[in-house]
Amino acid sequence: MKNKSDKELVLTSNNLILKHLVREPKVETSKNRAIILLHGVGSNEQDLFNLAGHLPAEFFVIAARAPFALGPERFAWYQVDFSTGKPVFNEAQELSSRETIRKFIAEVKQKYSLDEVYLGGFSQGAIMSYSIGLRHPKEVNGIIALSGRVLEDLQSTVTKNDELYRLKVFIAHGMQDATLPVHYAKQAKTFLQHLDVPLTYQEYNMGHQISGEVLKDLNAWLNAK
């Protein structure tokens, strides 16, 4: 194991299918492992990249920008409307983003010779992580779902299979979340348990956010892999 100097910790944005930021590992290990982070609606890659310093030093931390622009520095994986009290989303954009993220995962695996990839995100980013990881479990080693939900069509189409048994999932959700209430996390928990997916599930005394306690538990989960 070798420690890198601060000068070797490069933050970059590369010409892959998605614009992104990268924190290279601070510590070299026998495996190249990465956390790919997907931001929520109306945000950008810098948002979750700010968490890089709070994530394990042995990992690449890669934060991607969603492809659909909502305004200056505001992006989304798909457009969504909450005016009815229930999320209504653009299904064509969701499918397009899903395939784009899969291509991005393949690109970064090749670029950084990655052995393991943990795909995760906040809110809409967590939704996308569920949709990709559960449909294509061979492509990732784990899912990190922070304040997200599982889309209804996923619940009706994904069934038990051997690949899901090796997929690991970390769910964190606020009990006071007014944007995506905690019942969405409970539904995801029940669904994943039905699929026999290895699951770590935590509820927190917070709203629609990521707390220090969440990061502490996420680090413990990642370091246990």
CB-side exposure of 145: number of CA atoms within 13 Å? Answer: 33
- 201 SS3 class: strand
Cβ(62)–Cβ(37) under 8 Å?
A: yes
Q: Which amino acid is at 66?
A: A
DSSP state of 116: E
Residue 173: its pLDDT value, please? 98
The token pair at 157 is: 């189409």
Cβ(65)–Cβ(101) under 8 Å?
A: no
Predicted TM-score (pTM) of this structure: 0.92
DSSP state of 31: S
Crossing angle between the packed helical segments 91-111 and 124-135, to the nearest 10 degrees: 70
Cβ(154)–Cβ(174) under 8 Å?
A: no
Q: Which amino acid is at 52?
A: A
The token pair at 95 is: 């499918």
- Tokens 């609606």: give the residue: 41
Residue 225: its pLDDT value, please? 62
Residue 89: its pLDDT value, please? 80
CB-side exposure of 27: number of CA atoms within 13 Å? Answer: 9
Grouped pLDDT means (10 residues each) for the chain, 225 residues:
46 78 93 97 96 96 96 94 76 96 97 97 98 97 97 91 95 96 97 96 98 98 87
C-alpha span between 175 and 203 (Å, rounded): 6
The token pair at 116 is: 């393991």
